[in-house]
Amino acid sequence: MGAHLRSSLFPLSLLLTLLLSAQAPAKKTSFDFASFSFLNLTLLGDSYLRNGSVGLTRETGVPSSSSGTAICNLPIQFYDPRENVSASFSTKFSFSITNPNPESYGDGFTFFLSPGNGTLGSTGGYLGLFNFLSATGNVSIIAIEFDTRLDEGFNDSSDNHVGFDVNSPISVKAEGLSPHGIELKSGNLITAWIDYYNDESMLKIWLGNSSDDKPENPIMFMKYDLSKHFQEYMYVGFSAATEGSTEVHTIEGWSFQTFGFTTPNLSSHVPYNVSDSSWSKIPTIPVAGPHGGSPKKLSLSLAIIGPVALSMASVILVWISVTKWMEFKASKKEGLKSELLKGPRKFSYRELSSATRGFHSSRIVGNGAFGMVYKAVHPRSGITYAVKRSKQAQQSQKEFIGELSIIACLRHKNLVQLEGWCTEKDELLLVYEFMPNGSLDKALYCRPESMLKWCRRYNVATGIASVLTYLHQGCEQQVIHRDIKTSNIMLDANFNPRLGDFGLARLMDHNKSPVSTLTAGTMGYLAPEYLQYGKATEKTDVFSYGVVILEICCGRRPIDAEDGQDHKLVNLVDWVWGLYSKDKLIEAADRRLNGEFDREEMLRLLLVGLSCANPDCTQRPTMRRVLQILNSEAEPISVPRLKPLLVFASHLSMKEIVSDCEESARSSPLYELKTN
């Protein structure tokens, strides 16, 4: 019945929309988001929602490269071709720029207008908005940048400035903020007001430390005719980027409005979203009629009948949508329940809340892309669990279902065992066996007093090779993990490794070509070809495993500060390969081991790490071959003395592809880049 109603109503609603839009005046748009949700925004790249705020770049304690955008979902009319008039606009938003490592700053964020809702640019000084193709004139991107790094390549005047950009990260005009008492990197909440008056071609920007009091004088103002860059409909949003930095960019609230159209405004207020968010005008992309006008009777009839018909159609469509959504949600829950009855059990929210003391902060033992991880002690049995709690975002729900459907049917001694799940009270909770020795990265870097002995490190390398062999070749469907890293490898009571966090994992039929997706994972562990093509394969998992192996041997992070030079970053793969080229590979061994390791095993593991992290994916071994080598069942793979060349397409820039290699990669004589 619902399908029949939809099919019969669609031509009617489409016809009415076309007829009305042919006569529709320019629409003024306004919204006010005190908090954000997925109903408001499209998130691209590394951006995310948390507690009603938008984070634009990745949170990490390790310097990395990141870019993300958050774009308002609906297009906004900036130009009326019927009256040949452009809009003025005004916007206000609050933001903060924080950094766990003040010495590692940059690059900043932008407020922008773009003709498309898929805008995502390069990392670093391109601010997540532009790239080297942006200045061709084929696009119309307008941005106000809030820059925290002095980049001479983009003619920056300081590392604390605001700038006006058009189609390029090189600002048309910029203004230093220090003389005005504004420090972007202070970590404090800062409010920006941006007004553009089309009749005067005047752009004004204010910044203040209070969200209530707009300063009397603008920080920057200039005459510039934006209308020549306006398209009829454009999208507004925010972008940010880092490169070799831990800077985090957060938007706390946002209001926006257009004004100045001379045509009468006939549209009524239409609510778009609840929870502190509303739209006064929802723009409909107009379809031009064959003639400039229409008979008066038709206009009058449409003016009377049109709104009534549209209102009735809207009510019916909303009713159908709600009914279908309830049916879909119920079927999903039933399907999920039947799928999992064979294995992990369903926990009640009450018992998990009791086991975690109401999810008290003192019980938090980890924090990842999915959300918080809590230590839970069952009040009756005394069994200890680890409970992963979702952030209640749409993306997290997808990751929840993905992780649940994958790991529930996997069995291996080196996998973190799933014990159960809970979906009550709109919560998404996964229950795992508790790993008393925490994660591998904490064992390597945060607990020197209980530092892993060499025998345990070698056992970890072998165990993870075993479980990856199972995932890649031992399952009915191949599992690509996509996020192999030390923080996702847990250690049980006997320091045996357990691979966890399948939130980014993907199932794939064996021998099936990979599908290009948005790049997911963690910088420093991402294979070069994955960054270029966005195709995750078992070879990209092998690369990440290789980086983990080098961490185990060297006790250094994938991207770390050079000895005695905190300002200079070193890529671990490059560093180890450099020692190998000088026949000094053994010097890569973790000094904290004090020479207490098997030399032959150390060299074998270092060579395995380099062979897995080979930039040429065709030269990487399978995980089965790696396992055989570690078990002394096969000879090690020959590793070239010099790091192989990277060959990329000429239209991709070095910053876009080799962002995980940081500054050391660009300065190392062993690291070369060729373009075809």
DSSP state of 172: S
Please give the structure tokens belonging to residue 56.
């634009």
CA dihedral 239, 243, 248, 250 (to 10 degrees): 0
**Contact in structure between 370 and 396 (CB atoms under 8 Å):** yes
Give the pairing of strands 673-675 and 646-648: parallel
Q: How far apart are CA 240 and CA 181, in angstroms?
A: 23
User: If phi over 0 gives left and psi between -120 and 50 gives alpha, with beta otherwise, what is residue 489?
Assistant: beta
Q: How far apart are CA 55 and CA 560, in angstroms?
A: 24
Q: How far apart are CA 489 and CA 496, in angstroms?
A: 10
Q: How far apart are CA 519 and CA 502, in angstroms?
A: 15
Backbone angles phi, psi at 256, to 5 degrees: -155, 145
Q: How far apart are CA 337 and CA 162, in angstroms?
A: 53
Q: Which helix (H) or strand (E) holds 579?
A: helix 572-581
Q: How far apart are CA 214 and CA 440, in angstroms?
A: 49
Q: How far apart are CA 286 and CA 81, in angstroms?
A: 11
* Residues 6 or more apart in contact with residue 77 via CB below 8 angstroms: 26, 27, 29, 87, 232, 233, 258, 283
CA dihedral 439, 445, 446, 452 (to 10 degrees): 70
**Contact in structure between 196 and 89 (CB atoms under 8 Å):** yes
Q: How far is CA 145 from the centre of its chain?
A: 20
Determine whether 313 is exposed, middle or buried from the number of CB atoms within 10 Å of its CB (0-12, 13-18, 19+): middle
Positive or negative: CA dihedral 143, 145, 149, 153: positive
Residue 483 bears catalytic tag:
yes
Q: Measuring CA to CA, which residue among 75, 92, 189 is closest to residue 144?
A: 92
Q: How far apart are CA 95 and CA 422, in angstroms?
A: 35
Which residues are 253's β-sheet partners? Answer: 94
* Residues 6 or more apart in contact with residue 265 via CB below 8 angstroms: 25, 27, 28, 281
388 marked among binding-site residues: yes
Out of 80, 107, 165, 483, which one is annotated catalytic? 483
What per-residue string of b and e applies to 489-523 under the rule 16 or more CB within 10 Å gives b? bbbbeebbbbbbbbbbbbebeeeeebeeeebbbbb
**CA separation, residue 446 to residues 241, 452, 595 (Å):** 28, 11, 21
Binding residues for ATP: 388
Q: Please give the annotated binding residues, written as ranges.
A: 388
Instruction: Supply the residues annotated as catalytic.
Output: 483
